[in-house]
Amino acid sequence: MPFDQEAVLRRFATAAADAHAELTALDQLSGDGDFGDNLRDGLQDAVDRFESSGGAAFAVLGEVFLDEVGGTSGPLLGLLFTEIARALSTDVEPAVAWATGTAAGLDAIQRVGEAQVGDRTLVDALAPAVEALRGGGLADAAEAAAAGAAHTAELRARMGRASYVGDRAKGQPDPGAVGIALLFWSAATVTHPSSDLPPPLPSVTRRAPSAVNGRTPPRAHRT
Amino acid sequence: MSRPFHPADQDPVPAALRGFARAHADLVQLHERPTHLVAKQRNASRRVGLVSGGGSGHEPLHAGFLGRGMLDAVAPGRIFASPHNRQVLEASRKAAEGMSGVVHVVKNYTGDRINFGIAAERLRLDGIEVRRVLVDDDLATESTETATGRRGTGATVIVEKLLGAAADTGLDLDELAGLGAQFTAASRSLAVASRAQTSMHTGQPSFSLEPDELEYGVGIHGERAQKSITRPPTEELVDRMLDEIVAGLPAGPDEVLAVVNGLGGTTQLELYGLHELVATGLEHRGLTLTGALVGTFIPALDMAGFSLTLTRMQPEWQPWWSAPTVTPAFPRTSEETA
C-alpha cells in the first residue's frame, strides 16, 4: 500500500496550526518566539504549493522549509523532510523508508547543527524516534519522539539561542523537539487511524479523518 | 552624528551590489533571487571551485576578491548577517560547473556555519562534492569555556589568496581543504577600535568610548570587545598586539605574512604608519616579513580601528602569495595569467 504523504502533510499542518500558541509561548521562553509562526506558516505554504503544483508531498515540504522558512530550525527541518522524501520515493516498505529517511535526516541535522542528544534541541526528539524505527513502526517512533520532547524540559541548552538564557527555560520542553513529536504523531495517526496515540501537546486536537482530509483552516495572520 | 550616504529607504546592500557589478562588469556577474555573484574569469588549470560569503558591511570582502587567482563565486548576506543557504547553494552550483567540486571558505560564526552547512548538504544531494575551510583566527575570542571557538576575521583574505593560487595549480578537493586548514591554523589576528561603526538607523556610533579609551580585541560586527583599555601610545599598542599575536601563533618558520587592516574609518596614512611599526617590531622579534597587505580589506562598516594578522609561511606557500590576481580589490593585480 502506498504511503499517503499528502494526508500526513495535511495532518501535520493542522496539528502545527492547533499548537501555534503553545509553540510560540515555548519559544518565547528561550528563543525569539518565531518557531510557532515558522512551523505553521511553512506547513501551510507547503500545502498551498502542493495543491497548486503537485509532486510528492514531502519533497514539496522539504523544498519550502529549505528555501523559504526562516530561523535556524526551518532549514534544518527542511533537511529532514527532504531525506524522508528521498527515502519514500524508493521502492521499499513505508516503515523501512521512514527508518532510512529519518536516520539520514538526523545525520544531516547533526552534521550541520553539531547538536548532540542532551543539548535541548530537536535532536532530543528525533534521535529516539530514529532509534525506535530500527525495530518498530511509526507508532513506536511517535511515542519515542513525544517522550524525547517531554524530556527536554529537564535539559539545559548548550546550542542555539536558548544557550544564552541558561536555566531560565528549564521546566518547559524545547519547541523544536515538540515540532518533531508533532511530525511523528501525524505520520503515526494517519498510518494507524484506529490507534489512540495522545498528541504531544494538549492543545492539538485529535480530528476525525474526514476533517483532517479537508483544508486546514486559514491562518489568522501571516508574519 | 554622521548619517551614511545610502540610497533613501532602501536596504543598502542590493544597491551597492548592483553598483559593484556595474563598476566591475568585466570581472563579475551579479545574480539576484537569491543574491550571489560569480567571477567571469577563472584560470583553466583550476579543478575545484572556490566559494565564500558572509554578512555585508565588510567590503571589499568577499566580492572584491572574485576573479582570476581567487574566488569563483560569493554569497553576500545583509549587513552583518549570514547569507541564506539558498544564496550559498546557487553560488556553489555556479562555481561547481565544470569542476570536481567546491570548497567553502567560511568565517567562524554560528549563522555562517549553519547556512553554509545546509547548502553543503543540499549540494551533496545534487551530487556535488563540498569541503569546508573554517577561518578562526581572532585571538580575542580564544576561550576554553565556550564551544563557539575563535571568530574569523583578517586571516580570511590571506586564506582566500593562498587557496586561490593553490587551486590554480590543479590541486584536488581534499588537498585544498587540507591546505586551507593549514593556512588558517598558521594565522592569528587581533583588533582594536577607538570609535564604533555608525549605526545605520540612528547615525550615531553603535557604542561610545571615551577619548582615552580603546576597545581591545574588538570584533567586526560592532560587538564590543571583552575589555576596554586606557589608550597607550601607538608604538606601545602595536608592541603589545604583536607580543600577543606572536605568542598565539603555532610554532613554525620565522617567515610571516602581515595584514594591517583598517576597520573602515582609518586612513591609509595611519595604516602605513602602523605597518612601519609592525615591520620593525617583527624584525626585533627575529621574524622575517615575506609579504604584506596594508589597507581596508575586512572592515566593520566605518569603525575607527585596525586589525593585525600574522601568518607563519611555509616556504612552498610563498609562490601562492606572489601569484598574480585579476579581481576588483586585491591590490597586486596583473594582466598576466597565472
Enter the ipTM.
0.80
| Helical ranges in chain A per DSSP H | 5-18, 20-30, 35-53, 57-67, 73-88, 94-113, 123-135, 138-151, 175-191, 209-213
Per-residue pLDDT tens over the stretch B260-284: 999 999 999 999 999 999 999 999 9
Beta bridge partners of B308: B190, B260
pLDDT at residue B335 greater than cutoff 50: no
What backbone torsions phi and psi does residue B43 show, to the nearest 5 degrees? -70, 140
Q: CATH number of the domain at B188-313, please?
A: 3.30.1180.20
Domain ranges of chain B: 13-186, 188-313
Per-residue pLDDT tens over the stretch B58-103: 999 999 999 999 999 999 999 998 999 999 999 999 999 999 999 9
> What class does CATH assign to A5-192?
mainly alpha
From residue A207, give the alpha-carbon distance in Å to each of A18, A19, A202, B16, B258. 11, 13, 13, 52, 66
Q: Is B84 considered catalytic here?
A: no
- B6 prior amide bond cis, ω within 30: no
Best-predicted range by mean pLDDT (A209-218, B79-88, B165-174): B165-174
CB contacts under 8 A, B 86-105 vs A, are 86
Whole-number average pLDDT of chain A: 88
Is B120 at the interface with chain A, CB within 8 A? yes
User: Would you state the pLDDT for residue A221?
Assistant: 42
User: Would you state the pLDDT for residue A163?
Assistant: 63
Whether B117 and A112 lie within 8 Å, measured CB to CB: yes
Chain A residue numbers touching B120 (CB-CB < 8 A): 112
Chain B residue numbers touching A72 (CB-CB < 8 A): 111, 114
Q: What is the pTM of this model?
A: 0.89
Q: Is B24 considered catalytic here?
A: no
By C-alpha distance, which of A108, A122, A99, A94 is closest to A8? A94
> Hey, do B13-186 and B188-313 end up sharing a CATH topology, with the first three levels equal?
no
Least trusted range by pLDDT, from B5-9, B159-163, B254-258: B5-9
> What class does CATH assign to B13-186?
alpha beta
| Residue with cell string 499542518 | A13
Strand order in the sheet with B28-31: B28-31, B36-39, B73-79, B49-56, B102-107, B130-135
Per-residue pLDDT tens over the stretch B99-148: 999 999 999 998 899 999 999 999 999 999 999 999 999 999 887 666 67
CB contacts under 8 A, B 131-160 vs A, are 147
Per-residue pLDDT tens over the stretch A88-132: 999 999 999 999 999 999 999 999 988 999 999 999 999 999 999
Is A89 at the interface with chain B, CB within 8 A? no
| Residue with cell string 518498530 | A136
Q: What percent of chain B has pLDDT over 90?
A: 84
pLDDT at residue B23 greater than cutoff 60: yes
